[in-house]
Structure 1
Amino acid sequence: MITSKSRPYAGLTHQLTVSLLSSVIPYFIISLTLPAGQGAWPLFVTASASFFAVLIGSSILRNVTRYPGVETSLYFIPSFSLTYVSLLLIFAMARIPYSRPQIIGSFICAVIFYYVAIVGSMRREKPRIAVVPVGDYQPLLREDYADWHILSSPDTPLNSAIAVAANLWADLPDEWERRLADFALQGIPVYHSKHLVESLTGRVELEHLSENTFGTLSPISAYMALKRAIDTVMALIMLIVLLPLLLILMIVIRFNSPGPAIFRQERMGHRGEPFTLYKFRTMTNAPPSKDQRDAAMTKDSDNRITSIGHFLRHSRIDELPQLVNVLKGEMSWIGPRPEAMILSQWYEQEIPFYRYRHIVRPGITGWAQVSQGHVVEVTDVTSKLHYDFYYIKNYSLWIDILIVIRTIRTMLTGFGAK
């Protein structure tokens, strides 16, 4: 499905070609400067590994740019950075001799090749998509991604449209159904307008519970098991690496304002089971409020936030203690953010299908957080739930990788923090 702007052609042939050129060009340049018989083997090993680094980076880029709001020009460098950093970690942990110039050279080549492809694709005009004006098709026309061409009748020519959008749930007249069948037989893609809106906005409207690609309300169990294993390993590694920083932050928080360094709060978790969430305390340690629901909300310019709390929230460092929750299996790195019990119970009373978001483990970061930011009011939470449903419906490795990349941007910019 056509979803992202400025997306260059990224078929397998293109990926293999870029991977080969990115590894071979620096290999030959560097090999000419090496003394005879010195460093040839590490250079060859690094060139071979960089071929796969570019290939995997291309695959990541191809898969994450199919999600809405993702422009290739913003994600090709993070995609290759992710694979090259992983490659360096493998070399370091396995103590494999490697060529640093080859790593740098192949990374630069990959970036240059994709930059050229992206600049070329940006010159293309918006894709032209024909629209069947039957049923609720108006939401499509509010999206400016495509050049929408209304088909006034089944005989209206497509006028270079590359695809057709129609509300397939509507009671289509027989002549329109025959015409859509003809389009499909001619190899012209025909999209359900609701699914096309989801692809362009990253939101699933709450008309009904929405099945995933495999026709079920439940996420793929095999990926859930794999994700749980990755969560555990990564949380353990990060806790060991970050332990000195965590201890220093606990001391700073204690000296900054009275009260414990760690904030504990009961939250709604996986399958509706409550759990205790851990965060660095970013607010003053006030006595319990009579209005628990109001106290659980973080408002704009909240005067309860401490001086260091602003920095911790802006950078999302206050979430680091949740690594313990991940190790305990109560949370994942990525998933819908868990809400305070008092808020979750309120939302369940006000919003249909709200409980469905608990079908997956809550996360330290998630699709709604990187797309919308922090919200608490029911009207905003309903919008946030549209993003949560989209994540659950498209539950996969690729959307998780995209969220990781966007989370890094969020930590650097403070997007959505309060």
Structure 2
Amino acid sequence: MHMIDRSPGPVLPTPSPVRPTRARRILDVVLSAPLLLLLAPLLLLLAVVVALAGGRPVLFRQRRIGEGGAEFTLYKFRTMRRDSAGPGVTGGRDVRVTGTGRLLRRLGLDELPQLWNVLRGDMTLAGPRPEIPRLARRYPPEHLWVFRHRPGLTGPCQLRSRAYAAQLDGRPDPEQYYLTVLVPQRTALDAEFLRRATVPNVLRLVVRTILYLLAAPWDRGGGS
């Protein structure tokens, strides 16, 4: 998805929020703040690479659904061509993604600015994938519960992102396939994780995410 959703008014009937525990919030701050400082040179380098490869803007800002159905602005490095229109989901071979963007997505580097969202409290380290408002409005009612929770930088669904993206390739209506097939699968995984979203389990998921990204250059499964 490349366009920012600017639709006025409430996105969803506001569900009662389920906030992360205090221990998880402390973990978010303790990890995200030092990582932003430690990775500052890499973030600057990536910003230069994106600017040289595709011009400005370097950062992609997009409204997403946060905890309790409230909107927030999510930050990523831009990986798509400017002013490219299309479905609100991205397939593994989506033509809107630039060559540089494809590499950043595959290695998960485009997501690093979201550490700022984690530090701010818009997101948490591990939780459901943050959804765009236009698709959130079309979720099947039985899956709207997921918007009660704070979205995560990583999560069990994010660890399957390449496989999910590959499933969207060649679909005549990728958004409909996403909503009817992938959303039920994703929310089932989210529910399983959220039942045991303790600090140790969050840390295990972070480690699994690092291993998932390190394996990306050898993964032939496609998508990102």
Q: Following the alignment from structure 1 to structure 2, what is the Cα–Cα distance between the partners of residues 296 and 286? A: 14
Aligned alpha-carbon RMSD (Å) = 2.2
Task: Tell me which residue corresponds to 1:286.
Answer: 83
Q: Is the 8 A contact 1:259 1:284 kept in 2?
A: no
Task: Tell me which residue corresponds to 1:271.
Answer: 68
Task: Tell me which residue corresponds to 2:34.
Answer: 237
Give the TM-score, by structure 2 length.
0.78
Alignment partner of 1:296 is 2:93: no
The total of aligned residue pairs comes to: 192
Q: Is the 8 A contact 1:265 1:276 kept in 2?
A: yes
* Partner residue of 1:364 out of 153, 163, 166: 153
Q: Which amino acid aligns with 1:253?
A: V
TM-aligned CA distance change 1:218 to 1:308, over 3 Å? closer
How do 1:89-168 and structure 2 match up within 5 A?
none
Q: Following the alignment from structure 2 to structure 1, what is the Cα–Cα distance between the partners of residues 185 and 119? A: 30
TM-aligned CA distance change 1:282 to 1:218, over 3 Å? closer
Once the two structures are aligned, what percentage of the paired residues are identical?
35
Q: Following the alignment from structure 1 to structure 2, what is the Cα–Cα distance between the partners of residues 259 and 388? A: 35
Q: Following the alignment from structure 1 to structure 2, what is the Cα–Cα distance between the partners of residues 279 and 227? A: 23
- CA deviation map 1:153-189 (0-9, x unaligned): xxxxxxxxxxxxxxxxxxxxxxxxxxxxxxxxxxxxx
Task: Tell me which residue corresponds to 1:204.
Answer: none
Q: How far did residue 371 of structure 1 move?
A: 4.8
TM-aligned CA distance change 1:324 to 1:394, over 3 Å? same
Q: Following the alignment from structure 1 to structure 2, what is the Cα–Cα distance between the partners of residues 271 and 282? A: 28
* Partner residue of 1:389 out of 168, 188, 191: 191
How do 1:177-256 and structure 2 match up within 5 A?
224-256=21-53
Q: What secondary structure is seen at the aligned counterpart in 2 of 1:276?
A: strand
Q: Following the alignment from structure 1 to structure 2, what is the Cα–Cα distance between the partners of residues 367 and 275? A: 22
What residue ranges of structure 2 are gaps of 5+ in the alignment?
1-15, 166-174
Dislocated runs of 4+, deviation >4 Å: none
Give the TM-score, by structure 1 length.
0.43
TM-aligned CA distance change 1:374 to 1:275, over 3 Å? farther
Task: Tell me which residue corresponds to 2:168.
Answer: none
Structure with the greater relative contact order (CA < 8 A, sep ≥ 6): 1 or 2? 2
TM-aligned CA distance change 1:370 to 1:224, over 3 Å? same
Q: Following the alignment from structure 1 to structure 2, what is the Cα–Cα distance between the partners of residues 295 and 263? A: 17
TM-aligned CA distance change 1:260 to 1:399, over 3 Å? same
Q: How far did residue 397 of structure 1 move?
A: 2.3
Q: Which amino acid aligns with 2:36?
A: L
Q: What secondary structure is seen at the aligned counterpart in 2 of 1:312?
A: helix
Q: Which amino acid aligns with 1:319?
A: E
Q: How far did residue 357 of structure 1 move?
A: 1.2
User: Whose Rg is larger?
Assistant: 1
* Partner residue of 1:403 out of 183, 205, 212: 205
What residue ranges of structure 1 are gaps of 5+ in the alignment?
1-216
TM-aligned CA distance change 1:408 to 1:230, over 3 Å? same
Q: Following the alignment from structure 2 to structure 1, what is the Cα–Cα distance between the partners of residues 201 and 164? A: 20
Q: Is the 8 A contact 1:333 1:363 kept in 2?
A: yes
How do 1:16-27 and structure 2 match up within 5 A?
none
